Structure 1
Amino acid sequence: MKGIRMGYFFSLLGVLITSALAFSAKWAMNYFGLSCFEQIVFHLKVPLEGTNTEFLHDWVRLCFSKAIAATVIFLLLILCVPIIRIESGYISAWLCLLFLIIAAHRVGFFEWVINQFRHTGLYDQYYTDPHDVHLEFPEQKQNLIHIFMESMETTYTSKENGGDYPEDLIPELSKLAKDPDNVHFSHTDRMGGAHVVAGTGWTTGGMVAQTAGVGLTVPTVSHRFKENTPFLGHSKTLGDILEEQGYQQELCIGSDATFGGRRYYYEQHGHTEIFDYEKAKAFLPEGYHVFWGFEDEKLVEFAKQELTRLAAGDQPFHFTLLTVDTHHPKGYKGHDYQDIYPERLSNIIRISSARIGELVEWIQQQPFYANTTVMISGDHTSMAEDYIRHTYEKDYDRTVYNVFLHAKNKTEYTHRRLFTTMDLFPTTLSAMGVKIPGHRLGLGTDLFSGQKTLAETVGLEKLDQELRKQSDVYWKKIL
Structure 2
Amino acid sequence: MKPPNTLTHLRHPRWWALLVIGLWLGFAVAALPRIPLWSMVPITGGWLLLARCWRWGAPRTSRPVRRVWPWSLFPIALWGLYVFLANSFGKVDLGAVFFHLQAGMEEHGGGERIIAAILYTLSMVLLLASFTWLVRVDHRWRLTERLLALALLAGNPMLYGIGQRGVAIVTDDGAWLDRQYVEPVILDAPRDPPNLLLLYLESLERTYTDRERFGEAYAHLEALGEKAVVFEGVRQVDNTGWTMAGMIASQCGTPLMPAGLLHDSQFEPLGKVVPGVDCLGDLLADKGYALSYMGGASTRFAGKGVFYRDHGFDRVLGREELEPRLEKPGYMNSWGLYDDTLYELTVEEIRRLERQDGPWGLVNLSITGHAPHGYPARDCRERQGEFDGVDILYSVECSAWLARRLVERLEDEGLLENTLVVVASDHLTMRVSAWEQLVTGERDNTFMLLGEQLEPRRLEVEASTMDLLPTMLEAMGFVIDWHRAGLGVSLLSAEPTLVEEHGLDTLNARLREETALQERLWEGLAPPQGPPPPPEPVVEQVVETPEDQAPEAPEELP
Shorter chain as denominator, the TM-score bin is 0.7 to 0.9
Unaligned runs of 5+ in 2: 1-65, 524-558
Alpha-carbon spacing, 1:83–1:456, altered in 2? closer, same or farther (3 Å): closer
Q: Aligned residue for 1:41?
A: 98
Pick from 105, 109, 112: which aligns with 1:54? Answer: 112
What is the deviation of 1:34? 3.8
What is the deviation of 1:432? 1.1
Pick from 31, 40, 53: which aligns with 2:88? Answer: 31
> Is the Cα contact below 8 Å between 1:158 and 1:165 reproduced in 2?
yes
Say if 2:345 is the partner of 1:345.
no
Alpha-carbon spacing, 1:381–1:407, altered in 2? closer, same or farther (3 Å): farther
SS of the residue corresponding to residue 313 of structure 2 reads coil
Q: Aligned residue for 1:220?
A: 260
What is the deviation of 1:320? 0.5
Unaligned runs of 5+ in 1: 1-6, 188-193
Task: Give me the whole-angstrom Cα distance separating, in 2, the residues matched to 1:362 and 1:373.
Answer: 15
Alpha-carbon spacing, 1:377–1:116, altered in 2? closer, same or farther (3 Å): farther
What is the deviation of 1:446? 0.8
- After TM superposition, list the pairs within 5 Å mapping 1:311-322 onto structure 2: 311-322=354-365
**After superposition, what is the alpha-carbon deviation per residue over 1:205-236, rounded to whole angstroms, capped at 9, x for unaligned?**
10001111001123522116977833221211
For 1:417, give the aligned amino acid: V
Pick from 277, 284, 290: which aligns with 1:235? Answer: 277
> Is the Cα contact below 8 Å between 1:36 and 1:108 reproduced in 2?
no
Alpha-carbon spacing, 1:393–1:287, altered in 2? closer, same or farther (3 Å): closer
What is the deviation of 1:259? 1.1
Q: Indicate the larger mover: 140-149 or 18-27.
A: 18-27
> Is the Cα contact below 8 Å between 1:378 and 1:401 reproduced in 2?
yes
**After superposition, what is the alpha-carbon deviation per residue over 1:163-208, rounded to whole angstroms, capped at 9, x for unaligned?**
x6252311111112233xx211113xxxxxx111021111101000
Identity %: 26
Pick from 223, 228, 235: which aligns with 1:195? Answer: 235
Task: Give me the whole-angstrom Cα distance separating, in 2, the residues matched to 1:476 and 1:343.
Answer: 42
Pick from 378, 401, 415: which aligns with 2:446? Answer: 401
Say if 2:213 is the partner of 1:165.
yes
**After superposition, what is the alpha-carbon deviation per residue over 1:320-356, rounded to whole angstroms, capped at 9, x for unaligned?**
1000121112212444433589961111111111111
> Is the Cα contact below 8 Å between 1:170 and 1:350 reproduced in 2?
yes
Pick from 179, 183, 207: which aligns with 1:129? Answer: 183
What is the deviation of 1:95? 5.6
- After TM superposition, list the pairs within 5 Å mapping 1:46-445 onto structure 2: 46-52=103-109, 53-62=111-120, 64-76=122-134, 78-79=136-137, 81=138, 87=142, 99-105=152-158, 108-118=161-171, 119-130=173-184, 133-159=185-211, 165-179=213-227, 182-187=228-233, 194-223=234-263, 229-284=271-326, 289-335=332-378, 336-337=380-381, 338=385, 344-384=391-431, 386-392=432-438, 394=440, 396-406=441-451, 408-409=453-454, 415-445=459-489
What is the deviation of 1:98? 5.1
Task: Give me the whole-angstrom Cα distance separating, in 2, the residues matched to 1:224 and 1:263.
Answer: 19
For 1:329, give the aligned amino acid: P
Q: Aligned residue for 2:499?
A: 455
Task: Give me the whole-angstrom Cα distance separating, in 1, the residues matched to 2:484 and 2:194.
Answer: 20
For 2:448, give the aligned amino acid: V
**After superposition, what is the alpha-carbon deviation per residue over 1:350-397, rounded to whole angstroms, capped at 9, x for unaligned?**
11111111101111112331111100000000112x534333352x11
- Structure-2-length-normalised TM-score: 0.74
> Is the Cα contact below 8 Å between 1:408 and 1:432 reproduced in 2?
no
Alpha-carbon spacing, 1:342–1:243, altered in 2? closer, same or farther (3 Å): closer
> Is the Cα contact below 8 Å between 1:11 and 1:92 reproduced in 2?
no
> Is the Cα contact below 8 Å between 1:418 and 1:455 reproduced in 2?
yes
Q: Aligned residue for 1:3?
A: none
Q: Indicate the larger mover: 341-350 or 121-130.
A: 341-350
Structure with the larger RCO, 1 or 2 (CA within 8 Å, 6+ apart) = 1
Say if 2:510 is the partner of 1:470.
no
**After superposition, what is the alpha-carbon deviation per residue over 1:133-166, rounded to whole angstroms, capped at 9, x for unaligned?**
343111111110000000111111134xxxx625
Task: Give me the whole-angstrom Cα distance separating, in 1, the residues matched to 2:387 and 2:517.
Answer: 50
**After superposition, what is the alpha-carbon deviation per residue over 1:263-315, rounded to whole angstroms, capped at 9, x for unaligned?**
11110000341110011232245676522122212111111111111111112
**After superposition, what is the alpha-carbon deviation per residue over 1:86-113, rounded to whole angstroms, capped at 9, x for unaligned?**
x5xx877666555555545477333333
Alpha-carbon spacing, 1:330–1:252, altered in 2? closer, same or farther (3 Å): same
> Is the Cα contact below 8 Å between 1:151 and 1:327 reproduced in 2?
yes
> Is the Cα contact below 8 Å between 1:16 and 1:68 reproduced in 2?
no
What is the deviation of 1:437? 3.2
Alpha-carbon spacing, 1:69–1:459, altered in 2? closer, same or farther (3 Å): closer
SS of the residue corresponding to residue 49 of structure 1 reads coil
Q: Indicate the larger mover: 331-340 or 360-369.
A: 331-340
> Is the Cα contact below 8 Å between 1:325 and 1:352 reproduced in 2?
yes
Alpha-carbon spacing, 1:183–1:55, altered in 2? closer, same or farther (3 Å): same
Task: Give me the whole-angstrom Cα distance separating, in 1, the residues matched to 2:289 and 2:319.
Answer: 24
> Is the Cα contact below 8 Å between 2:104 and 2:270 reproduced in 1?
no
Alpha-carbon spacing, 1:288–1:365, altered in 2? closer, same or farther (3 Å): closer
For 1:113, give the aligned amino acid: G
SS of the residue corresponding to residue 463 of structure 2 reads coil
Task: Give me the whole-angstrom Cα distance separating, in 1, the residues matched to 2:100 and 2:214.
Answer: 36
What is the RMSD of the two structures over their aligned residues, measured on CA atoms? Answer: 3.0
Rg larger in structure:
2
What is the deviation of 1:15? 6.0
